[in-house]
Structure 1
């Protein structure tokens, strides 16, 4: 679809229409948030990568010595990084946060291929198209699977890697069969059909989070469910639970000589911090940070901590006792 002389996706256009309605709301809170998003979206762009139209958000000083590519997680989109982006930009770091195909405002894959290698090739195409030479990568949940495949496949000029909520997954034949059937059913057939945000938030608080967040950031999560392709949900869940994939993760980590920061939440019920610690032990140049009160969704639970950790890896120094120094912002 064309808008103002550029090609965009229908999902993007629909969101812009909703944004325009919110800008005219009688609620000051709704209007303030809509104005914030409108300003944020000025840096949204679209690009075709391997035949599929992708959305990416490029902000911060273009001449910055530090550029970071942000890769979102499973059933998420680029907006999960929005507060992190603000903090990094304020500290002089250029950020490039893109939507994986089939997620967020990116189109569905033209061949319905949501394999890890295909995501890796899309990332390579993005880096090449933007002319990035030296850059950092931060990723959470599904994102590190893609980052590792990319880093070992293309041997590119990555300076540092920061992985959140990721580890060495214990796996077996039952999990390989069960998880791709159960988890996508919960998200695709149950949660995404719920239009009212409180039940979705209740589920997240019970299973995924240890900190309360603002209503507006809860809605970001609800929109993740709206935007994602059913095929993307199912294929990625199948991919990341294959035994050959999970068993290869330590091998991939051991092949990378760049600094890798592993960040775990002590309260993460999806990826245990102990499994993150196990994976950290395979790194040639690794560092481990365990956040005491944090679940599986650190970028929205503790965005300031997320930003500080990314910057600490970029700057090559450690921040100790983050679990006690930082707390979640109070929800409103």
Structure 2
């Protein structure tokens, strides 16, 4: 399924995006190693529920531009989110954010609390939770930024990691697995994966805001897969303790990519948290 349908220039770079509906605006921010494909079984249902839904690929990811010499860190992506909302004429927005998208959501909500109506973070990186131990090992073993690897070796490495994102590994196979691998199926794709994603796996972007999470005043719901192998459940509980009045929802038999293990549950949680918009 091709979820994204359009592109627009934001702060001098091209972002692939999808903007559907006329109701209360919600924006979906994906994680890594991923792109907006992860929302394919969620976003159409939220659009049908009457929201205006914006879905986009982060800069350097998926179908968006992969620029040379442009910062694509969590901090830079947070700034770009503000520019994207401005370009779309959106003042206030609800945020649904996964993995490093959750870090972007946290940072944006702290920097612009008046612009965020509600915040949902799903299996988010936080504090010192990332990169995971397996990613740390990969980074240490590949200082050449994967450029010396064959495509087969790279695919095998990334496949092993992607299998860890789901509680039911049979879900990360076939066409689904191929869709996650697709953006990296070239020498440029492999280099881009390092430069725009792995290079910025750095917990400083969440550690530096850890002691300010108590300043969040908007409603926050934290949704977490009980069997997340990358972001253990105790980080979800730590976030819930730190953010005033935050709700924690733990999904049994769910892994890090809840949109693969339990898309119907993710749809339910979004609808319940953001409420049905007026028709």
Which category describes the TM-score, using the shorter chain as reference length? 0.7 to 0.9
Q: Report Cα offsets for 1:10-49 as digits up to 9, x if no partner.
A: xxxxxxxxxxxxxxxxxxxxxxxxxx54xx55xx221111
Higher relative contact order (CA 8 A, sep 6+): 2
Distance 2:255 2:184 in 1: 19
* Aligned counterpart for 2:167 among listed residues 188, 210, 222: 210
Per-residue deviation at 1:168?
4.0
Normalized per residue, which structure has more helix? Answer: 1
- Relative to the length of structure 1, the TM-score reads 0.70
Distance in 2, matches of 1:232 and 1:117, equals: 18
User: Which SS does the other structure have where 1:281 is aligned?
Assistant: helix
Q: Which runs of 5+ in 1 are unaligned?
A: 1-35, 317-332
Contact 1:168 1:249 in 2 (8 A): no
Report the count of equivalent residues. Answer: 269
Query: How does the TM-score come out when normalised to structure 2?
Result: 0.83
**2:194 match:** 233
Quickly say closer, same or farther: Cα 1:105–1:191, change in 2 above 3 A. Answer: farther
Q: CA deviation at 1:235?
A: 5.8
Higher radius of gyration, 1 or 2: 1
Q: CA RMSD in A?
A: 3.3
Instruction: Find the residue that maps to 1:264 and give its secondary structure.
Output: strand
Q: Which residue of 2 aligns with 1:255?
A: 215
Once residues 269 and 145 of structure 2 are traced to their aligned partners in structure 1, the CA distance between those partners, rounded to angstroms, is 30
Name 2:29's counterpart in structure 1. Answer: 71
Match runs of 1:1-332 below 5 Å: 37=2, 40=3, 44-59=5-20, 61-62=21-22, 64=23, 66-166=24-124, 168-170=126-128, 178=136, 181-182=139-140, 188=146, 193-194=151-152, 204-205=162-163, 207-211=164-168, 212-213=170-171, 215-226=174-185, 230=191, 233-234=194-195, 236-242=197-203, 244-315=204-275
Q: 1:267, 1:292 within 8 Å by CA — same for their partners in 2?
A: yes
**Offset at residue 129 of structure 1 (A):** 0.7
Worse-matched range after superposition: 231-240 or 294-303: 231-240
* Conserved? CA contact 2:117–2:218, under 8 Å: yes
Task: Provide structure 2 residue ranges, at least 5 long, that are not aligned to the other structure.
Answer: none
1:7 maps to: none
User: CA separation in 1, counterparts of 2:111 and 2:161?
Assistant: 37
Q: Deviations over 1:93-119 (max 9, x none)?
A: 221111111101111235331222211
2: distance between equivalents of 1:162 and 1:187? 33
Matches of 2:145 and 2:44, distance apart in 1: 29
